[in-house]
């Protein structure tokens, strides 16, 4: 028998659990830990609430979660309730699937102003993550600046721009819907320090900006490279750039019909943030030129008014005491998933915050191949039995998958009309709901 602990119940965690079941069948017991009482990590609190088809992948994880082989151990924080060393002494392999939940920081003057918010916090707020549910961002101003040109920047710009009706069918939490309903935004500027050929946005997500009821995307034709230059791009990227060209061709009268402008500002590197009374009022950017793919400052600067700034410039893994960490890369130090004997990582905790949800599937399967090589048929550890003894001794309150199903039933019962669920946004309410 092999005893496996997976820390984190997001996509990387559950694809790894699925791979373990495929590899070992009944010859393994897999415990999937999460610090929250609810599973699915990024699917629940990262994927945009209006992208329900992507969130549907949790049904697949549910199939893995139900049964005796894989067990969900919610409401247990590794490092707080139980140490990594303790887990390692109980399980043949401990696999960290903890993602990259911390914002990479924009380290410029003024970036600590109270209305400069990282995407982990902002996305966590509209998705009801307990850590960020009380963020209460001030959306009463007219101008938002979104830093970064990846898919998270697109999510944020789109969520800021949608009407209440456009959230029908989504599971955006009510506190966010209320705040967005009362917002007075007129512009959302998306800042890229490089050019149209260097965006990290994918076509489907970019195309959604064309469908918005009250916002229209704007690109300056002068920022676009000559059309022939697109020939060198790989097909997905070429589609994205073609969409930018379509945005540039939208006639001015269409922009006039829509109250919110989503402006793409290319070749604009944030240099400082003007702050008055602890609040950002403008972002100072430096014009760049792109040489050999790198943004080079020209010395020319200008200001973009900002009543709120949301940085969408990537994420980092949270370090865990005793686990080697690669500070520069912002993830665990590892060699193809191996950190130390018996300790592994997978997903964003292994390779950094890139790729789609599906990218974690091969990652999960490959880490299980490696674990299989390393542990053979197991080392007669005590596994979940030993963990349960420890949990009882410490009076830890484990939330099981069956408990989660009750929490989910309560969330579904509380849903607004047309919405799949109304999430509990604090840990106490989640835990209380299992007894309803
Ligand atoms: P990302 O794709 O890596 O984009 C980060 C952006 O931030 C880049 O445009 C980058 O510009 C910019 N940036 C970084 N540091 C900066 C700085 N100091 N100043 C200005 N700009 C800076 O990251 P992401 O948007 O957080 O997305 C993470 C992953 O999740 C991606 O793989 C993404 O595709 C995925 N995701 C997918 C979906 C979806 O499929 N619907 C939705 C959300 C996220 P440079 O390129 O110049 O460094």
For position 231, what pLDDT does the model report? 96
The whole-number pLDDT of residue 378 equals 86
Q: Give pTM, 2 decimals.
A: 0.96
Contact 258, 98 (CB under 8 A): no
Tell how far the Cα of 105 is from the centroid of ligand 1, in angstroms.
13
Beta bridge partners of 78: 82
Task: Give the Å distance between the CA of 94 and the centre of ligand 1.
Answer: 29
Q: How many CA atoms lie within 13 A of 406 on its CB side?
A: 13
Minimum CA distance residue for ligand 1 atom 16: 313
User: Ligand 1, residues 148, 192, 271: which to mutate, most atoms within 8 A of Cβ?
Assistant: 148
Question: What ranges make up the beta strands (E) of 136-259?
Answer: 143-147, 187-191, 215-218
Dump pLDDT digits (tens) for 226-285: 999 999 999 999 999 999 999 999 998 888 889 999 999 999 999 999 999 999 999 999
Counting atoms of ligand 1 from 1, which one is nearest the CA of 153?
25
- The helix/strand/coil state of 142 is coil
For ligand 1, atom 36: residue with the closest CA: 151
DSSP state of 416: P
Residue with CA nearest ligand 1 atom 18? 106
Residue 75: helix, strand or coil by DSSP? coil
pLDDT score of 379: 83
User: What residue owns the CA closest to ligand 1's atom 40?
Assistant: 356
Please tell me if the CB atom of residue 150 comes closer than 6 angstroms to any atom of ligand 1.
yes
Q: What are phi and psi of 368, to 5 degrees?
A: -70, -35
Tens of pLDDT along 117-163?
999 999 999 999 999 999 999 999 999 999 999 999 999 999 999 99
* Distance from C-alpha of 41 to C-alpha of 35, rounded to nearest angstrom: 10
Residue segments in the chain with a per-residue pLDDT below the cut of 50? none
307 in Cβ contact with 142 (< 8 Å): yes
Tell me, what's the pLDDT at 435? 84
Pocket test for ligand 1, best of 150, 170, 264, 295 (most atoms within 8 A of CB): 150
Q: What is the pLDDT of residue 436?
A: 66
Q: Distance, CA 403 to ligand 1 centroid (Å)?
A: 35
**pLDDT score recorded for residue 98:** 98
Measure Cα distances from 297 to 146, 285, 314, 324 in Å: 20, 10, 21, 35
**CB 375 near ligand 1, within 6 Å:** no
Our answer on whether the CB atom of 195 is closer than 6 Å to any ligand 1 atom is no
Ligand 1 center to 371 CA (angstroms): 31
User: Which residue, 284, 49, 30, is CA-closest to 147?
Assistant: 284
Nearest Cα to 306, choosing from 119, 138, 165, 76? 138
3-state helix, strand, coil in the chain (%, to 5): 40, 25, 40
Quick: pLDDT tens for 376-385: 988 889 999 9
For the chain, what's the residue count? Answer: 436
Say what the pLDDT of residue 256 is: 84
Does 313 sit in the ligand 1 pocket, CB within 6 Å?
Answer: yes
**Ligand 1 and 103: CB distance under 6 A:** no
Q: How many helices (H) and strands (E) does the chain have?
A: 16, 19
CA–CA gap between residue 301 and residue 308 (Å, rounded): 20
Residue 50, ligand 1, Cβ within 6 A: no
Cβ proximity of 304 and 191 under 8 Å: yes
Cβ of residue 349 lying under 6 Å from some atom of ligand 1: no
Token pair recorded at residue 280: 């950002």
């Amino acid at each position: 028998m092999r005893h496996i602990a997976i820390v984190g119940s997001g996509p990387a965690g559950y694809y790894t659990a699925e791979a373990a079941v495929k590899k070992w069948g009944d010859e393994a017991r897999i415990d999937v830990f999460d610090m929250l009482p609810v599973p699915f990590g990024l699917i629940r609190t990262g994927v945009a609430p209006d992208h329900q088809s992507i969130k549907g992948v949790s049904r697949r994880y549910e199939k893995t979660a139900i049964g005796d082989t894989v067990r969900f151990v919610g409401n247990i924080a590794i490092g707080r309730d139980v140490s990594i060393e303790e887990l390692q002494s109980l399980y043949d392999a401990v696999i960290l699937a903890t993602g990259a939940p911390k914002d990479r920081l924009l380290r410029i003057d003024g970036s600590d102003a109270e209305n400069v918010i990282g995407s982990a916090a902002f996305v966590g707020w509209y998705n009801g993550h307990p850590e960020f549910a009380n963020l209460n961002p001030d959306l009463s101003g007219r101008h938002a600046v979104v830093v970064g040109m990846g898919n998270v920047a697109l999510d944020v710009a789109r969520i800021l721009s949608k009407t209440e009706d456009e959230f029908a069918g989504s599971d955006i939490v009510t506190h966010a819907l209320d705040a967005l309903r009362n917002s007075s935004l007129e512009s959302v500027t998306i800042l890229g320090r490089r050019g149209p050929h260097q965006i990290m946005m994918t076509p489907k997500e970019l195309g959604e900006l064309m469908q918005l009821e009250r916002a229209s995307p704007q690109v300056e034709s002068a920022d676009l490279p000559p059309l022939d230059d697109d020939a060198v791009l790989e097909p997905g990227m070429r589609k994205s750039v073609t969409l930018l060209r379509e945005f540039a061709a939208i006639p001015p009268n269409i922009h006039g019909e829509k109250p919110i402008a989503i402006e793409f500002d290319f070749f604009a590197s944030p240099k400082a943030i003007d702050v008055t009374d602890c609040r950002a009022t403008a972002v100072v950017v430096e014009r760049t030129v792109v040489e050999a793919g790198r943004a080079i400052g020209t010395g020319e600067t200008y200001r973009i008014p900002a009543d709120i700034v949301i940085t969408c410039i990537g994420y980092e893994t949270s370090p865990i005491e005793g686990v080697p960490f690669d500070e520069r890369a912002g993830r665990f130090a590892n060699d193809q998933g191996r950190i130390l004997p018996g300790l592994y990582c997978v997903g964003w905790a292994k390779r950094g915050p890139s790729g789609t949800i599906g990218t974690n599937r091969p990652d999960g399967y490959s880490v299980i191949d490696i674990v299989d090589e390393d542990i053979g048929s197991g080392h007669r550890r005590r596994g979940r039995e030993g963990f349960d003894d420890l949990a009882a001794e410490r009076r830890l309150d484990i939330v099981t998958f069956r408990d989660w199903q009750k929490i989910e039933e309560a969330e579904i019962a509380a849903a607004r009309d047309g919405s799949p669920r109304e999430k509990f946004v604090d840990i106490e309410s989640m835990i209380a709901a299992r007894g309803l």
